[in-house]
């Protein structure tokens, strides 16, 4: 039985990978991941890694890897549909009826929603800049929020008229039906009259733009104290709140050093206008593990800049935990004299806020306080456990200066000599280093010149070309904007540029999934590849994720290398054919003269 993409995604989303794999493997926490001995090959030193936040596993020894579906395929010897059914039954998800055709298009496609959103954004923008219609909205931005016209234009802000059908009538004239507008969350349907009405009315509008430049949703804010203050698009075929961040389309270009996480649109816009262009915000919802995975793609450091009230600080604690689970260096901003970043900058200026960023607290104090709260330090056994936990945390920091500072803190709290704690930290660091060196050695031996490669037999013929192919594919899998750039032709790349047939297949599958109505998700590749092949694809992603530089210039450089190799091989092949033709012609002439 073939399952729809949406059903497969639901099965994966509702499966706890830690709990599933924990039934087969003893897992231990190692930073943001879990480690254990691989169930698919014999080993004494754990090289099997599970990422709960990414819902993926990978073995650095045998190269097995993939999603929960891939794991079940290998562990239970099932094919892809059987593994999906196994996990669905395990999660209590009813299977779709056999009579349904899951491959048939249903509802409104993602592309159709994106087209509608673009037209709606143009409509809202035109209304804002029409004094007869959007005067109130423009006054709100300029006078209440002190925004310049350049900032308003930069973010594509708009205004929704105080009308039940202004947008709906406009979209009807463009050929869109009520059903399509409802699916895109641009209009609702009256239960009394059955007529469609504008979802956003008498509000300033904030378009939500993804990293590829698509308008995926909208947020609307009232201009007075009426409720609800904010109204946000619900989930649509083009939008999931947990997978998008406001202003990421701008922040992704300036976030290598850090990103700033805010609570709302206005804070983000105020920070960008003041020169802090790495600020983003979640969209009317608390931060989720999926948001954290987005941050992990773009930066290693996040500064949380939430409101200074109790609710804001509680939300900050949750955000620290979720971001910490994906390995982020998390810091928290504490503002005195203002309730949020927007007010702080208006009261004290950008320079004071910049100093505030530099003085932000590290996540260590938060982690240390959490550890100390678990133990009674008057009891010897509890003090030993607390010191072990704190030393493990301190050992994760690369900076010797940071370690010294945190050791002094731990010494004071535990009442133990600094040197004793320092020795424990160094023992943990040496153990971690041995494990890292061993793992890297295993990786190097496993990939040595690609000889005997069962997955990609052509790999040994041109290791440099394969390295370029895998770099390009790893980046395409990780970043939607690179897939979009290739799809739109902004970066010239096609399947003809791939030397090996396996990597060519991967490229075609990734781009086809990207262009599909459900969009690209890694686990869906399992329908097109065998489990061992999925492991190889996951290896490409892991290799890129471990690098600190994955920006646009890196992607373009990798593509250029791949294109250069491909073009040289094509030219060499053409020259060889020409040379052989010349020799055949010369041989024929000699033969004719003999006759």
The string of pLDDT tens digits covering residues 428-463 is 999 988 887 776 666 555 555 544 577 888 877 788
CA angle in degrees (0–180, nearest 5) for 335-336-342: 55
Q: How confident is the model at residue 111 (pLDDT cuts 50, 70, 90)?
A: confident
The average pLDDT across 542-557 equals 86
Enumerate residues 6+ apart whose C-beta is below 8 A from 418.
Answer: 407, 408, 411
Task: Output the pLDDT for position 186.
Answer: 96
Task: Output the pLDDT for position 318.
Answer: 85
More reliable by pLDDT, 380 or 327? 380
pLDDT at 302 over 90: yes
The average pLDDT across 71-76 equals 88
Q: How confident is the model at residue 595 (pLDDT cuts 50, 70, 90)?
A: low
The string of pLDDT tens digits covering residues 240-256 is 888 899 999 999 988 87
The string of pLDDT tens digits covering residues 339-372 is 888 899 989 999 999 999 988 877 787 678 778 9
How, if at all, do strands 279-281 and 301-305 pair? unpaired
The DSSP secondary structure of 89-134, one letter per residue, reads HHHTPPPPPTTS-TTS--S--HHHHHHHHHHHHHHHHHHHT-HHHH
Task: Output the pLDDT for position 1.
Answer: 60
Task: Output the pLDDT for position 593.
Answer: 52
Q: How confident is the model at residue 259 (pLDDT cuts 50, 70, 90)?
A: very high
Of 81, 47, 77, 83, the closest CA to residue 65 belongs to 47
Task: Output the pLDDT for position 576.
Answer: 43
Task: Output the pLDDT for position 164.
Answer: 93
Task: Output the pLDDT for position 202.
Answer: 96
The average pLDDT across 126-148 equals 95
CA 262 to CA 412: how far, in whole Å?
A: 34
pLDDT at 70 over 50: yes
Mean residue pLDDT of the chain comes to: 86
CA 327 to CA 293: how far, in whole Å?
A: 10
Task: Output the pLDDT for position 96.
Answer: 83
Q: Are 87 and 72 in contact (CB under 8 A)?
A: yes
Task: Output the pLDDT for position 109.
Answer: 80
What does each C-alpha distance from 14 to 24, 87, 90, 243, 331 come to in angstroms?
A: 19, 9, 10, 16, 31
3-state helix, strand, coil in the chain (%, to 5): 55, 10, 35
The average pLDDT across 565-586 equals 61
Stretch (H or E) spanning 261:
strand 259-262
pLDDT at 105 over 50: no
Of 171, 179, 190, 168, the closest CA to residue 116 belongs to 171
Q: Would you call 490 exposed, middle or buried from its count of C-beta atoms within 10 A (0-12, 13-18, 19+)?
A: exposed
In residues, how long is the chain?
Answer: 595
Enumerate residues 6+ apart whose C-beta is below 8 A from 322.
Answer: 287, 288, 289, 291, 292
Q: Cβ of 568: how many Cβ atoms within 10 Å?
A: 11
Q: Cβ of 45: how many Cβ atoms within 10 Å?
A: 12
Assigned token pair, 52: 């709960």
Of 301, 316, 393, the closest CA to residue 29 belongs to 393
Q: Are 59 and 68 in contact (CB under 8 A)?
A: no
More reliable by pLDDT, 458 or 581? 458
Assigned token pair, 101: 């055709």
Alpha-carbon dihedral angle through residues 18, 19, 25, 27, given to the nearest 10 degrees: 50
The average pLDDT across 305-316 equals 79
pLDDT at 104 over 50: no
Q: Are 500 and 465 in contact (CB under 8 A)?
A: yes
The string of pLDDT tens digits covering residues 204-216 is 999 999 988 999 9
The average pLDDT across 164-187 equals 95
Q: Which of 120-124, 527-531, 562-566, 582-586 has the highest mean pLDDT?
A: 120-124
The average pLDDT across 133-161 equals 95
Task: Output the pLDDT for position 484.
Answer: 93
Q: How confident is the model at residue 550 (pLDDT cuts 50, 70, 90)?
A: confident
Task: Output the pLDDT for position 446.
Answer: 52
Q: How confident is the model at residue 586 (pLDDT cuts 50, 70, 90)?
A: low
The string of pLDDT tens digits covering residues 376-431 is 999 999 999 999 999 998 987 777 888 999 999 999 999 999 999 999 999 999 99
Enumerate residues 6+ apart whose C-beta is below 8 A from 68.
Answer: 12, 15, 17, 20, 21, 55, 87, 523
């Amino acid at each position: 039985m073939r399952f729809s993409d949406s059903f497969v995604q639901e099965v994966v989303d509702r499966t706890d990978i830690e709990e599933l794999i924990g039934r087969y493997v003893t897992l231990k926490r190692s930073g943001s991941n879990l480690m254990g001995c691989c169930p698919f090959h014999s080993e004494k030193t754990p090289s099997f890694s599970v990422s709960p936040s990414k819902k993926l596993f990978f073995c650095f020894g045998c190269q097995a890897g993939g999603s929960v579906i891939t794991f079940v395929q290998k562990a239970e010897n099932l094919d892809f549909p059987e593994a999906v059914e196994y996990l669905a039954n395990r999660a209590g998800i009813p299977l779709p009826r056999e009579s349904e055709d899951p491959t048939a298009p249903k509802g409104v496609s993602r592309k159709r929603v994106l087209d509608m959103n673009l037209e709606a954004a143009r409509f809202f923008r035109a209304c804002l800049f029409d004094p007869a219609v959007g005067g109130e909205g423009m006054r709100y931005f300029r006078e209440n929020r002190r925004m310049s016209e350049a900032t308003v234009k930069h973010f594509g802000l708009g205004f929704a008229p105080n009308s039940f059908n202004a947008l709906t009538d406009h979209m009807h004239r463009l050929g869109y039906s009520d059903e399509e507008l409802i699916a895109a969350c641009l209009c609702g349907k009256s239960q009394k009259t059955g007529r469609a009405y504008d979802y956003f009315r008498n509000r300033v509008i904030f378009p939500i733009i993804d990293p590829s430049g698509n308008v995926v949703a909208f947020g609307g804010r009232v201009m007075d104290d009426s409720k609800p203050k904010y109204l946000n698009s619900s989930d649509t075929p083009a939008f999931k709140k947990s997978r998008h961040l406001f202003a990421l389309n701008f922040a992704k270009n300036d976030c290598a050093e850090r990103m700033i996480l805010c609570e709302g649109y206005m804070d983000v816009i105020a920070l960008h206008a003041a020169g802090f262009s790495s600020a983003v915000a979640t969209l009317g919802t608390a931060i989720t593990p999926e948001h954290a995975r987005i941050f992990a793609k773009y930066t290693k450091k996040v500064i949380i800049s939430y409101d200074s009230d109790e609710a804001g600080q509680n939300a900050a604690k949750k955000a620290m935990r979720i971001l910490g689970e994906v390995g982020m260096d998390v810091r928290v901003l504490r503002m005195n004299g203002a309730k949020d970043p927007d007010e702080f900058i208006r009261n004290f200026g950008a320079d004071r806020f910049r100093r505030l960023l530099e003085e932000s607290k590290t996540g260590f104090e938060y982690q240390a306080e959490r550890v100390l709260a678990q133990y009674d330090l008057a009891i010897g056994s509890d003090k030993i456990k607390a010191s072990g936990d704190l030393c493990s945390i301190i050992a994760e920091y690369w900076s010797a200066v940071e370690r010294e500072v945190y050791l002094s803190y731990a010494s004071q709290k535990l009442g133990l000599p600094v040197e004793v704690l320092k020795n424990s930290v160094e023992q943990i660091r040496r153990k971690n280093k041995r494990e890292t060196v061993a793992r890297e050695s295993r990786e190097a031996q496993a990939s040595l010149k690609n000889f005997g490669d069962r997955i990609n037999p052509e790999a040994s013929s041109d290791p440099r070309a394969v390295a370029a192919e895998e770099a390009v594919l790893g980046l395409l899998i990780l970043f939607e904007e690179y897939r979009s750039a290739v799809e739109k032709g902004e970066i010239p790349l096609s399947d003809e540029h791939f030397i090996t047939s396996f990597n060519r297949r991967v490229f075609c599958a990734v781009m086809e999934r990207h262009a599909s109505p459900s969009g690209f998700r890694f686990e869906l590749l399992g329908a097109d590849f065998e489990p061992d092949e999925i492991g190889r694809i996951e290896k490409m992603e892991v290799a890129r994720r471990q690098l600190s530089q994955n920006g646009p210039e890196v992607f373009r450089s990798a593509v250029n290398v791949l294109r250069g190799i491909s073009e040289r091989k094509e030219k060499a092949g053409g020259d060889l054919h020409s040379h052989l033709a010349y020799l055949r012609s010369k041989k024929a002439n000699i033969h004719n003269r003999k006759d």
